[in-house]
Amino acid sequence: MKQKTLFIVSAVVLLLVFIVGTLLYTARKEDQAAQRADANRAALVRMHSPTLGKPDAPVVIVEFLDPACETCRAFYPLVKQMMAANPDRIRLVLRYAPFHNGSDKVVAVLEAARRQGRLWPALEALLAAQAQWAPHHTPQVALVWTHLEGLGLNLERVRADMNAPEIARLIAQDLEDARTLNVTKTPEFFVNGRPLPSFGYEQLRTLVDDALKETRRR
């Protein structure tokens, strides 16, 4: 009986040590990520970064996005829903992380559309049709054009502007900032400078809700 009790106690102690160790490790990783974001806050938002929402909204979501990323496509309407549920209180800042081979050309198309004031409609159209122009996770810029029709774009101008050196520099800057912030996958989110503790919609919503509550207390 004593041996059995000792075994149970030992097992409980080992379990507690494991749980405490896991919690400490998670907390340390989150703290390190937050410290990294604080130290590199300038890398979160650039003057060229597209934004959606009220400029002085108290909660700022920075999203690193790859237009060929299926999870980015799934998360985009969820972020829009959070913004709609909190009018004028959330601003979305878009950063590009074209990790898929060929995605940089699609980003260039989006930035060319932005020159005509149609970035967000173009982004939403391409996300909706992602399976058609990025089959098997392989972006093909030649397939995007049909999905941009009807948006009021001068597509010939888009084709010319997408090769502008300024757009290439913008994409390079976003990729450099992604590396600085240790962004290795998309979508990656920062809410008022704080990274997600772990990836998931509930984690994002919790971080946004906490930020909204904090700003209401001020």
Say if residues 39 and 82 touch (Cβ distance below 8 Å): no
Q: What is the mean pLDDT of residues 194-217?
A: 94
d(CA 126, CA 118): 12
Residues 34 and 134 in one domain: no
pLDDT number for residue 33: 58
Residues 138 and 64 in one domain: yes
Residues 72 and 14 in one domain: no
pLDDT number for residue 35: 61
Instruction: Tally the domains of the chain.
Output: 2
Is pLDDT above 90 for 13?
no
Sheet with strand 90-96: strands edge to edge: 51-52, 90-96, 59-65, 188-191, 194-195
Residues 57 and 22 in one domain: no
The confidence band for 11, taking pLDDT boundaries of 50, 70 and 90, is low
Residues 159 and 205 in one domain: yes
pLDDT in tens, 83-132: 999 999 999 999 999 999 999 999 999 999 999 999 999 999 999 999 99
pLDDT number for residue 42: 82
* Gap between the terminal Cα atoms of the chain: 59
Segments forming the whole domain that contains residue 24: 2-39
Residues 51 and 68 in one domain: yes
We report the CATH number of the domain holding residue 153 as 3.40.30.10
d(CA 122, CA 113): 7
Residues 153 and 83 in one domain: yes
Residues 82 and 129 in one domain: yes
Kindly report which listed range (9-18, 88-97, 143-152) carries the lowest average pLDDT score. Answer: 9-18
pLDDT number for residue 79: 98
Residues 180 and 100 in one domain: yes
d(CA 17, CA 69): 39
pLDDT number for residue 217: 73
Helix axes 103-114, 119-128, angle to 10 degrees: 140
The confidence band for 12, taking pLDDT boundaries of 50, 70 and 90, is low
